[in-house]
């Protein structure tokens, strides 16, 4: 069957590997563009959050390309509520599409339903093949995450603007072409080498600004939804450290394990899980402050409830922990240029703040 | 002599569903209870000023209510409303409400934030409230007794509303109406005059009988819930959706109005579903979105146009 899914950063290519392993014809979604968003917005309720609109736009694009089955990870987006996929289905139905939709929820929460859905997806493939596919998925996710993180560290030092992004793109293609776990590992090494061969300035890593990225999961993981924030920060000379990488996400949400310590950090401010990533955003801000980061960027879809709760606590938190926080609420009207200007100002502020801090610290140190 | 301590309760959000219970409970326990006034322009302005600007109007209004009680009470009652730990049965803002309030407003008296379960049927879930009473007074027996009494008062009120309809909520129904319309939405939007620009009064004034989700019984709701996957939405959103379906399918009302608050995420989804469902059935549907600038005039015009259309439809005989 012709199968597709929502684009989600580099993980898109890992999912492609798994599904084609199972013998499906995979329609790989393109990275969402402004057109995708416009399309999704047109058929979404006005106040739906941006993940809802962008994913709907992507679905419409892949359906046009012939997709018959849509798969989706349930954990993303909907503050874990059920309406997200259900409403997508109905809206697509009104537009005359009738794809089969398979929603996956964290396997440990509803093991039986999970198994049924896996069986549906696996069709005639043997369990052995499924296992092989899952191993490949995991390996690819890991190396894709690794390459991305490396690129975030290197980009602030690049000499020619855009050279790291270009190298990363080529490295990702290498991973994409790999058909087995071994090939993936080998491609990873080649990719890493390629990235490291890019000419960079020789700077003390301690001198680079470090910025923590927090917020709602989709806008963190989908660069198209956050206007390629990490690239922008890198080009401004700051190392971006995202809180969620696909590998953590898989750990935390798919296997349903929770990182206790972030929750404990947030406890005095938000004692209970409020859905989405609201509480994590608070805990992670504290974490970054303790690690000596220069600032935090909070990313959230406009009208995203858990992040609004978190944001209302941010001013007090930022004061108390002594870490600047920039909150970016994103909707379909948010412009690339606007985000760029705000980031530039934020980076400038962090830079002068650091200079001031080192000046006051200097006389005391010997 | 020791002065009786005063507990302030904001007249907003879940107050519309559970206020009677809380009020009685604390009174029975020997506290003086003060409730903030019905929403007014001052409360709205203060709320808008103090709350993160990305919040929905109801959350802003709530902050305004809390602020209006700031100097009038020794304790503020801002419960943390949720469902079970594993299911998010309320809008996350209800869960984070005490946290938002504490960090947005300065100089508040002590905030009492017991964790309450919205499914009022389960007595065990309200144990937190009794625990709070014991903490405050040290009298366990009195607390349990006060709670039992308060719960009865609320139950009586709920059945009175379901028996008698809107008059029990303080809205007299017109005696000579030819149209009946369902108005669905969250209680803190449809019954708060300021939040909805007086929509209910507008409809009633135009001799339209109005039915609201609070008139629909739990078993009627449950019947409608079969049509959708379980736990689609939050508590209030589910009630909005199910009662909307009930009004269309069981009561066969002449039209459906959905009142929604600007900036409400869940409502965007509920509204869309209601719109699709009513279109399928050919039931006239009106969506009214209210924000801080909504005036009575704007709401009146929309209500009038909708009612006119319904009457024309009735005369034209095209209504089933
Ligand atoms: S977490 Fe935020 S963005 Fe995600 S579905 Fe909920 S409200 Fe929307
Ligand atoms: S349900 Fe909507 S209106 Fe109510 S608090 Fe949540 S976002 Fe606001």
> Is A132 inside any structural domain?
no
CA B165 to the chain's CA centroid = 16
- Asked whether the predicted pLDDT for residue A212 surpasses 90, the reply is yes
Sheet-wide strand order for A25-26 = A25-26, A2-5, A69-73, A100-104
> Is A198 inside any structural domain?
yes
pLDDT on residue A333: 85
- Asked whether the predicted pLDDT for residue A99 surpasses 80, the reply is yes
Q: Residue B91: its chain A contacts at CB < 8 A?
A: 305
- Asked whether the predicted pLDDT for residue B240 surpasses 60, the reply is yes
A68 and A83 co-located in one domain = yes
Integer Cα distance of A181 and A138 in angstroms: 9
pLDDT on residue B165: 87
| φ, ψ of residue B102 in degrees (nearest 5) | -65, -35
pLDDT on residue A78: 45
Shortest-distance Cα residue to atom 7 of ligand 1 = A304
Identify the band that residue A174 occupies on the pLDDT scale cut at 50, 70 and 90.
Answer: very high
The pLDDT tens digits for B59-112 are 999 999 999 999 999 999 999 887 654 454 677 788 889 999 999 998 999 999
A256 and A324 co-located in one domain = yes
A268 and A338 co-located in one domain = yes
Q: Given an 8 Å threshold on Cβ–Cβ distance, is B104 in contact with A312?
A: yes
DSSP A199-233: -B----GGGSEEEEEEE-HHHHH-TTTTTTHHHHH
The answer to whether the beta carbons of residues B224 and B238 sit under 8 Å apart is no
DSSP A119-145: HHHHTTS-HHHHHHHHHHHHHHHHHHH
Q: What is the CA radius of gyration of chain A?
A: 21
A23 and A48 co-located in one domain = yes
A64 and A178 co-located in one domain = no
Q: H or E stretch including B261? A: strand B255-261
The 3-state DSSP class for residue B226 equals: coil
> Is A130 inside any structural domain?
no
The pLDDT tens digits for B271-308 are 999 999 999 999 999 999 988 877 788 899 999 999 99
A165 and A272 co-located in one domain = no
A145 and A226 co-located in one domain = no
CA B185 to the chain's CA centroid = 8
> Is A215 inside any structural domain?
yes
A236 and A181 co-located in one domain = no
Nearest CA-CA partner of B164 in B174, B173, B177, B151: B173
Half-sphere exposure of residue B127: CA atoms within 13 angstroms, side-chain side: 3
| The token pair that represents A95 in the structure block | 């537009």
pLDDT on residue A77: 42
**How much is the ipTM here?**
0.82
Of A94, A278, A329, the CB nearest to B92: A278
- Where would I find the H helices in chain A? 11-21, 34-43, 50-64, 83-94, 111-122, 127-154, 163-177, 181-196, 217-221, 229-235, 246-249, 260-266, 278-290, 305-321, 336-361
> Is A30 inside any structural domain?
yes
Of A304, A305, A309, the CB nearest to B99: A309
Shortest-distance Cα residue to atom 2 of ligand 1 = A304
Shortest-distance Cα residue to atom 5 of ligand 1 = A78
The pLDDT tens digits for B15-56 are 998 898 999 999 999 999 999 999 999 999 999 999 888 888
A12 and A34 co-located in one domain = yes
CA distance A186 to chain B (A): 42
The answer to whether the beta carbons of residues B3 and B73 sit under 8 Å apart is no
Residues of A with CB under 8 A from a CB of B: 44-49, 79-83, 86-87, 90-91, 94, 269-276, 278, 302-306, 308-309, 311-313, 315-317, 329
Last residue within a domain, chosen from A189, A206, A223: A206
Identify the band that residue A253 occupies on the pLDDT scale cut at 50, 70 and 90.
Answer: very low
Integer Cα distance of A19 and A353 in angstroms: 48
A14 and A114 co-located in one domain = yes
The answer to whether the beta carbons of residues A33 and A224 sit under 8 Å apart is yes
- Asked whether the predicted pLDDT for residue A273 surpasses 90, the reply is no
Q: Given an 8 Å threshold on Cβ–Cβ distance, is B51 in contact with A304?
A: no
Nearest CA-CA partner of B116 in B187, B39, B186, B19: B19
The answer to whether the beta carbons of residues B42 and B68 sit under 8 Å apart is yes
Q: Residue B229: its chain A contacts at CB < 8 A?
A: 82, 86
Mean pLDDT along residues A357-364: 68
Number of independent structural domains in chain A: 3
Higher pLDDT, A48 or A171: A171
The answer to whether the beta carbons of residues B91 and A308 sit under 8 Å apart is no
The pLDDT tens digits for B102-130 are 999 989 999 999 988 766 555 555 788 88
CA B256 to the chain's CA centroid = 18
Is B58 near ligand 2, meaning CB less than 6 Å away? yes
Tell me which DSSP letter residue B166 carries.
G
End-to-end Cα, chain B, rounded Å: 69
A46, A305, A307, best to mutate for ligand 2 pocket (most atoms within 8 Å of CB) = A305
- Asked whether the predicted pLDDT for residue A82 surpasses 70, the reply is no
Mean pLDDT along residues A205-234: 90
Q: Residue B280: its chain A contacts at CB < 8 A?
A: none
Integer Cα distance of B257 and B304 in angstroms: 12
Q: Which residue of A has its CA nearest to B98?
A: A270
Last residue within a domain, chosen from A206, A224, A255: A206
| The token pair that represents B78 in the structure block | 């801002």
> Is A47 inside any structural domain?
yes
Integer Cα distance of B272 and B136 in angstroms: 45
CA distance A225 to chain B (A): 18
Nearest CA-CA partner of B81 in B34, B134, B144, B13: B13
Mean pLDDT along residues A71-89: 67
Range of the domain at A79: 2-125
Beta bridge partners of B218: none
| φ, ψ of residue A342 in degrees (nearest 5) | -65, -35
| Share of residues in chain A with pLDDT > 70 (%) | 88
Q: Residue B266: its chain A contacts at CB < 8 A?
A: 81, 83, 305
Last residue within a domain, chosen from A145, A180, A206: A206
Q: Given an 8 Å threshold on Cβ–Cβ distance, is B273 in contact with A94?
A: no
Average pLDDT, chain A: 85
pLDDT on residue A126: 83
Q: What is the CATH number of the domain that holds A365?
A: 3.40.50.11900
A225 and A364 co-located in one domain = yes
Q: What is the CATH number of the domain that holds A36?
A: 3.40.50
A288 and A219 co-located in one domain = yes
The pLDDT tens digits for B179-229 are 999 999 999 999 999 989 899 999 999 999 999 999 999 889 888 888 876
Residues of B with CB under 8 A from a CB of A: 51-52, 54-56, 59, 80, 82, 85, 88, 91-93, 95-96, 99-100, 103-104, 115, 228-234, 262-269, 271-273, 276
pLDDT on residue B238: 86
Integer Cα distance of A148 and A197 in angstroms: 15
> Is A266 inside any structural domain?
yes
Identify the band that residue A365 occupies on the pLDDT scale cut at 50, 70 and 90.
Answer: very low
> Is A353 inside any structural domain?
yes
Shortest-distance Cα residue to atom 1 of ligand 2 = B91
């Amino acid at each position: 069957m012709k199968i597709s899914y929502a684009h989600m950063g580099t993980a898109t290519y890992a999912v492609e590997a798994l599904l084609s392993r199972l013998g499906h014809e995979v329609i790989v979604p393109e990275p969402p563009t402004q057109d995708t968003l416009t399309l999704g917005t047109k058929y979404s309720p006005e106040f739906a959050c941006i993940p809802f609109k962008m994913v709907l736009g992507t679905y419409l694009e892949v359906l046009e390309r012939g997709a018959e089955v849509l798969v989706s990870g349930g954990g993303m987006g909907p503050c874990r509520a059920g309406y997200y996929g259900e409403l997508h289905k109905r809206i697509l139905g009104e537009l005359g599409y009738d794809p089969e939709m398979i929603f996956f929820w964290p396997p440990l929460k509803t093991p039986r339903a999970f198994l049924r859905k896996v069986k549906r997806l696996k069709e005639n493939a043997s369990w052995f093949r499924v296992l092989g596919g899952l191993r490949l998925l995991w390996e690819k996710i890991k190396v894709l995450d690794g390459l991305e993180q490396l690129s975030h560290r290197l980009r602030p030092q690049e000499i020619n603007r855009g050279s790291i992004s270009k190298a990363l793109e080529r490295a990702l293609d290498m991973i994409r072409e790999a058909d087995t776990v071994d090939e993936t590992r080998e491609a990873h090494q080649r990719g890493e080498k390629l990235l490291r061969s890019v000419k960079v300035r020789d700077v003390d890593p301690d001198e680079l600004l470090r910025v923590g990225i927090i917020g709602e999961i989709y806008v963190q993981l989908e660069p198209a939804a956050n206007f390629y924030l990490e690239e922008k920060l890198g080009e401004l000379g700051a190392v971006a450290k995202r809180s969620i990488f696909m590998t953590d996400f898989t750990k935390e949400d798919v296997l349903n394990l929770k990182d206790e310590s972030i929750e404990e950090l947030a406890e005095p401010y938000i004692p209970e899980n409020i859905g989405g990533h609201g509480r994590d955003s608070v805990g992670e801000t504290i974490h970054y402050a303790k690690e000596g980061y220069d600032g935090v960027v909070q990313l959230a879809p406009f009208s995203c409830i858990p992040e609004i709760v978190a944001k209302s606590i941010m001013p007090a938190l930022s004061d108390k922990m002594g870490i600047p926080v920039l909150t970016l609420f994103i909707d379909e009207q948010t412009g690339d240029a606007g985000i760029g200007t705000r980031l530039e100002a934020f980076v400038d502020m962090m830079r002068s703040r650091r200079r001031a801090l080192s000046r006051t610290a200097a006389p005391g140190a010997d | 002599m020791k002065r009786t301590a005063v507990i302030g309760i904001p007249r907003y959000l879940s107050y519309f569903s559970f206020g009677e219970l809380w009020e009685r409970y604390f009174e029975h326990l020997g506290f003086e209870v003060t409730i903030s006034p019905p929403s007014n322009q001052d409360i709205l302005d203060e709320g808008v000023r103090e709350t993160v600007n990305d919040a929905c109007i109801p959350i802003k209004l709530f902050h305004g209510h809390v602020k209006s009680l700031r100097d009038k009470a020794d304790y503020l009652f801002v419960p943390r409303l949720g469902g079970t730990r594993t299911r998010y049965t309320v809008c996350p803002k209800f869960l984070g409400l005490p946290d938002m309030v504490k960090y947005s407003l300065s100089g508040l008296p002590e905030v009492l934030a017991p964790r309450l379960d919205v499914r009022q049927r389960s007595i065990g879930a309200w144990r937190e409230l009794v625990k709070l009473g014991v903490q405050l007074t040290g009298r366990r027996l009195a607390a349990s007794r006060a709670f039992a009494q308060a719960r009865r008062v609320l139950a009586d009120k709920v059945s009175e509303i379901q028996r008698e309809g809107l008059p029990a909520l303080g809205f007299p129904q017109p005696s000579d109406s030819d149209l009946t319309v369902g108005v669905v939405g969250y209680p803190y939007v449809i019954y708060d005059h300021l939040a909805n620009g007086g929509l209910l009064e507008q409809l009633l004034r135009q001799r339209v009988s109005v039915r609201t989700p609070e008139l629909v019984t739990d078993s009627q709701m449950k019947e409608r819930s079969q049509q959708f996957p379980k736990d689609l939405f939050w508590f209030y959103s589910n009630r909005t959706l199910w009662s909307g379906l009930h009004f269309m399918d069981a009561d066969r009302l002449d039209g459906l109005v959905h009142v929604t608050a600007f900036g409400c995420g869940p409502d965007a989804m509920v509204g869309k579903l209601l719109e699709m469902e009513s279109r399928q059935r050919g039931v006239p549907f009106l969506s009214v979105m209210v924000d801080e600038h909504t005036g009575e005039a704007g709401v009146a015009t929309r209500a009038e146009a909708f009612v006119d259309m319904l009457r024309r439809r009735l005369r034209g005989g095209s209504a089933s």
